[in-house]
Amino acid sequence: MLKKATQDNDRHLLLVDDDRLVLITMANALRQVGYHVTTTESVDEAESWLAEGHHQPHLVILDIQMPGGCGLSFAQRLRELDRIPFIILSAYSDEETVAQATQQGALGYAVKPLEPLQLVPIIKTALVQADRLQELGILRRQLQHALDSERDINVAVGITMMQRRLTRAAAFDLLRQSARTQQCKLNQLAGSIIDAAETLNL
């Protein structure tokens, strides 16, 4: 069984649990506090739902042990392939299970049985963490792009210095002027120079 909430909300939760009563109770409670909730009763059903190309949920809440697949294995897929944040919901509270969930990147851990509304602060905390991690990821990619661009420009300046027998400053000025003439970014021109030099060396 697969149900989708009709209430429109910008925070979408995917709830994965083989206990239908848990699904209904928790989904209804979370919808009442304003979340858009999709429910699935197995890992396979959750996998199929994601594969259908729906908008990725902001957070997945999943049980660890379910027929058709282990929640921790699905958690690994969420982290490594889909980059979807998740929290673990389970009847187990031993240290090993908590450690496994943490290693898989869980942003929260709740032990059943619990009142549905007890999940709300855990969900809110996880969503805040997920937003921060996303921001950090964007900053990290931007920094890496800047570092890559700077490296390419330095390499292209070096190639131009050797080919034209210019000083570093003169080579850089030449590249900058060429980029303006060609109406492209300096790092794009640098990449083209490096590609051409590598082609000639083959």
- In tens, the pLDDT along 94-105 reads 667 667 777 777
67 confidence band (pLDDT: 50, 70, 90): low
In angstroms, the CA 192 to CA 14 distance is 45
Range of weakest confidence among 114-123, 138-147, 186-195: 138-147
- pTM across the whole model: 0.60
Coil, strand, or helix at residue 113? coil
Asked if 109 contacts 75 with a C-beta cutoff of 8 angstroms, the reply is no
How do beta strands 2-4 and 36-40 pair?
antiparallel
166: three-class secondary structure by DSSP: coil
Supply the pLDDT for residue 6: 36
Q: Is the pLDDT of residue 178 over 80?
A: yes
pLDDT of residue 137: 65
Q: What is the mean pLDDT of residues 56-85?
A: 76
Q: Which amino acid is at 190?
A: A
Beta-bridge mates of residue 89 = 63, 110
**How much is the pLDDT for 1?**
44
Q: Which helix (H) or strand (E) holds 37?
A: strand 36-40
Please state, for a pLDDT cut of 90, what percent of the chain lies above it: 0
How far apart (Å, rounded) are the C-alpha atoms in residues 24 and 64?
18
**What 3-state DSSP class applies to 65?**
strand
C-alpha–C-alpha distance, residues 102 and 49, integer Å: 25
Please check the confidence at residue 65 and state whether its pLDDT lies above 50.
yes
Query: What is the distance between the alpha carbons of residues 112 and 93, in angstroms, rounded to a whole number?
Result: 9
Q: Where are the alpha helices (DSSP H) in the chain?
A: 20-32, 43-51, 71-77, 95-103, 119-164, 168-182, 186-201
- Structural domains of the chain, with CATH: 2-114 (3.40.50.2300), 140-201 (1.10.10.10)
- The answer to whether residue 56 scores a pLDDT higher than 70 is yes
Write down how long the chain is.
202
What pLDDT, on a 0 to 100 scale, did the predictor assign at position 19?
82
Beta bridge partners of 111: 90
Which pairs with CB-CB distance under 8 Å and at least 24 residues apart come from 131-139? 133/85
